[in-house]
Structure 1
Amino acid sequence: MAGMDGEGTRESSWYGETEERWFRVLLHVGFFLLLGSSLTRFLMRHTDEGRAPWVVALAVLLAALYVTGTTPSGARTGTGIRRPWWLGAVVAVWIALVFLAPSFAWCSIPLFYLSLRTLRPPAAAALITLLTAVAVVAQLRLAGRFDLDLLLAPPAVSAIAVAVFVQMDRQTQRQRRLIADLVRTRRELAATERREGTLAERQRLSMEIHDTLAQGLSSQQMLLQAADRVWDGEPATARRHVRAATAIAEHNLTEARRFVHDLAPADLAEGGGLEEALRALAARESTGGLRVRCHVDGAPDRPLPGRVESALVRIAQGALANVREHAGAGTAALTLTYLDDQVVLDVADDGHGFDPAAALADTGGVRGHGLPAIRTRAAQLGGTLTVESAPGEGTVLSAAIPLGVAGGPPV
């Protein structure tokens, strides 16, 4: 999004500069057309008059001054239209030219725009009033008699020209503000999306760690505590517990390395597929007095997406972690069922049960990363989580994931 913001800013700036450039081109072309037509008209009618050389010289000087102040080189050297003294020189030459040849009065129209672009509003208004008054006097002199139209026409043209420029300038400023607001909004949206993505990634990592490393460490702790209790009286049992803890530590090491690569479950990465991954998980969890069985019912019509298989393995890991840590169960069962439109993973145990509503509402502690995390994983793939339990009656957890899921975030 940052790149998009920069691109949008450049694009809007390009459009604004293009419009400004075309306006300046039209303004300059209009000025020289008026200047050229006025000079042509004068020369066609007054060539033999003594003032003709002065008119030609002043017209050339006015053109030179105008070019000096409006070309890119003039702007770079500091003599552009932002310099009031340059505009004053142009206006002074123009007034002298109008005094000698009133037909040059119409060149004042481009000077209106230069005044508004160069001076502050009060000074620009005063200069435009002066230009209009000079144009009125020039037209009356040219007509040789009093004419109400000539008295009113220049102020009307002046008012229209100023109104057009002011309206265009306001629209330009409004457009620039809108573009600035749009760019700012896009940047804020990009920042919000980055924050949401960071939070989502943190949540995903916390679930991954809880369902793998934390579960393995908890199992190791329980096995080592059991080994410590029977170390003197039942050394064979103690060694069996230690070997089981060692196997879990080895698996946790594999999971930790997998985090560094692509965060896929280690059982799936071994290439056996979802069913073999669940069977390996059941065999690994069958320690310390808990026996876990795995059963697969049916077969998929087509291979499941990798993110669905990964989610189901993580759901099974999280569910069995809850069974081991909280249920006090002796047996548990993993059942994977392929239906026509969904795949269902059931995790059942014969433990002491609990209140599902209270557990799902809990957001703290270990359980806060258990059932809520499982529910989040299922929801990310458009699935549902159902928990059936009651104190003293065991628990059945059922996660249903619809088949053919094409969207959803990776898990």
Structure 2
Amino acid sequence: MARWDGTGTADPEREIRAADDEARWFRALLDVGFFLLLGSSLTRFLMRHTGEGIAPWVVTLAAALAALYVAGPALSGDRTRRHLWLGACAAVWIALVFLAPSFAWCSIPLFYLGLRHLRPPAAAGFIGLLTVVSVSAQLRLAGRFEFDILLGPPAVAAICVAVFVRMDQQTRRQRELITDLVRTRRELAATERREGTLAERQRLSMEIHDSLAQGLSSQQMLLQAADRTWRSDPDTAHRHVRAATAIAEHNLTEARRFVHDLAPADLAGGGGLDEALRTLARRESTDGLAVRCHVEGVPARRLPDRVQSALLRIAQGALANVREHADARTAALTLTYLDDRVVLDVADDGRGFDPAAARDGDGVRGHGLPAIRTRTRQLGGTLTVESAPGEGTVLSAAVPLEPAALPLDGA
């Protein structure tokens, strides 16, 4: 199974390294066991048969088997070479067992070599051959038939096979889990990147609509008014041009700030949301539209910066809708502080519209209402739109006050 770190996520690279380390440790232990068995068998033989003529042959064959075992990684490249190498190891071992039956114990590491390098049918035949030779050697060494000798080597072979198969299954399952985890993490990372891209696009579109597009619309209206009065009333035309220039400067500041994801420019002065809404109302009060601002209640705590920024953007977006769609003469911004929430109302006396049609997506109010609804939802608040054709519009955004909001300075 995959290991998990303290953050609740798995590290696939660490899991792969751990699996490789376990495999290397197992092979190292197997190698140590083989040479211990080979050395102990050779020592036992030399202690009991030093003067016999077969001793040089036994030593030579033991050295050959050790050399073949060590050279295994280099000699077992493709399947044919691997089969030839295993056949040479088995042949040398069988000759050793024929001369000295005590070398039968070296069959245990050879079992694992067969299981690792041969397919199941070939591995079964390889292990069966080694088991038969081991039983024959032990019976010949004992000099008589013994039931435990007949059952012992097959039992050892069965245990070795069971252990190896179980470990191999666990290793395969672990690698499959790691592969699935890596694939899932890649898919998740790609999804997060897509969601991040969409969220950033949505943020930029809302910022552009609520700030830059609104300012450009005001500039257009002012410059058109200046063009109409340029000859008849130059002073009024100059006043319109100066107002358009001021709006352009403000738009430039807004563009620089939202590119860096900073607070709106009207909040940068430190006057808070109340003063920012009053400034917005003054700036939006142009020929043909009068905007008033009212603040009711006293805030029990300072609003978080993100709430102030979002409510100001909501007011900007709502006034942009009033100017572009409502054909209104007056509009009112009302900010109300309650015990558990703050409410921003934007009302106008324009021509109104059908809110149900806007929700159905027929484009009555373009991008404005969806952006306002998104901002309100991000704050955990609710948005209410009351309107009807010919009866004006009242937009109300209610945002709950967070318990962790900071208290007012000096409160």
State TM-score, norm by structure 2: 0.88
**Counterpart residue type for residue 254 of structure 1:** T
Q: Distance in 2 between matches of 1:67 and 1:149?
A: 33
Query: Which whole-Å deviations, capped at 9, do the CAs of 1:18-43 have from their partners, x for residues lacking one?
Result: 21122112212322232233234334
Q: What SS does structure 2 have at the residue aligned with 1:59?
A: helix
Q: Distance in 1 between matches of 2:362 and 2:206?
A: 13
Q: Paired residue for 1:97?
A: 96
Q: Distance in 2 between matches of 1:351 and 1:373?
A: 21
**CA root-mean-square deviation:** 2.5
Is the contact between residue 16 and residue 178 of structure 2 (CA under 8 Å) also seen in structure 1?
no
Kindly state the Cα deviation for residue 161 of structure 1 after the two structures are TM-superposed: 1.7
1:379 to 377, 380, 385: 377
Q: Distance in 2 between matches of 1:285 and 1:360?
A: 27
Q: Paired residue for 1:195?
A: 194
Is the contact between residue 363 and residue 369 of structure 1 (CA under 8 Å) also seen in structure 2?
no
Is the contact between residue 266 and residue 279 of structure 2 (CA under 8 Å) also seen in structure 1?
yes
After superposition, residues 3-14 of structure 1 pair within 5 angstroms as 8-14=11-17
Q: Paired residue for 2:214?
A: 215
Query: Judging changes above 3 Å, is the alpha-carbon distance between structure 1 residues 270 and 261 closer, same or farther for their aligned structure 2 residues?
Result: farther
Query: Judging changes above 3 Å, is the alpha-carbon distance between structure 1 residues 129 and 363 closer, same or farther for their aligned structure 2 residues?
Result: farther
1:368 to 366, 375, 381: 366
Aligned residues: 395
Query: Judging changes above 3 Å, is the alpha-carbon distance between structure 1 residues 260 and 244 closer, same or farther for their aligned structure 2 residues?
Result: same
Q: Distance in 2 between matches of 1:62 and 1:81?
A: 19
Is the contact between residue 207 and residue 373 of structure 1 (CA under 8 Å) also seen in structure 2?
yes
Q: Paired residue for 2:110?
A: 111
Aligned-residue identity in percent: 78
Q: Distance in 2 between matches of 1:127 and 1:391?
A: 91
**Counterpart residue type for residue 263 of structure 2:** A
Q: Distance in 2 between matches of 1:111 and 1:363?
A: 77
Query: Judging changes above 3 Å, is the alpha-carbon distance between structure 1 residues 163 and 81 closer, same or farther for their aligned structure 2 residues?
Result: farther
Query: Judging changes above 3 Å, is the alpha-carbon distance between structure 1 residues 64 and 406 closer, same or farther for their aligned structure 2 residues?
Result: farther
After superposition, residues 82-231 of structure 1 pair within 5 angstroms as 84=82, 85-231=84-230
Q: Distance in 2 between matches of 1:111 and 1:158?
A: 10
**Counterpart residue type for residue 318 of structure 2:** A
Q: Distance in 2 between matches of 1:389 and 1:189?
A: 43
Kindly state the Cα deviation for residue 100 of structure 1 after the two structures are TM-superposed: 0.4
Q: Distance in 1 between matches of 2:117 and 2:276?
A: 77
Kindly state the Cα deviation for residue 81 of structure 1 after the two structures are TM-superposed: 8.3
Kindly state the Cα deviation for residue 152 of structure 1 after the two structures are TM-superposed: 4.0
Query: Which whole-Å deviations, capped at 9, do the CAs of 1:120-159 have from their partners, x for residues lacking one?
Result: 3343333223222221221222222344543443333323
**Counterpart residue type for residue 163 of structure 1:** A
Structure 2 residues without counterparts, runs of 5 or longer: 1-6, 406-411
Structure 1 residues without counterparts, runs of 5 or longer: 70-74
Is the contact between residue 363 and residue 372 of structure 1 (CA under 8 Å) also seen in structure 2?
no
Q: What SS does structure 2 have at the residue aligned with 1:368?
A: coil
**Counterpart residue type for residue 163 of structure 2:** V
Q: Paired residue for 1:54?
A: 57
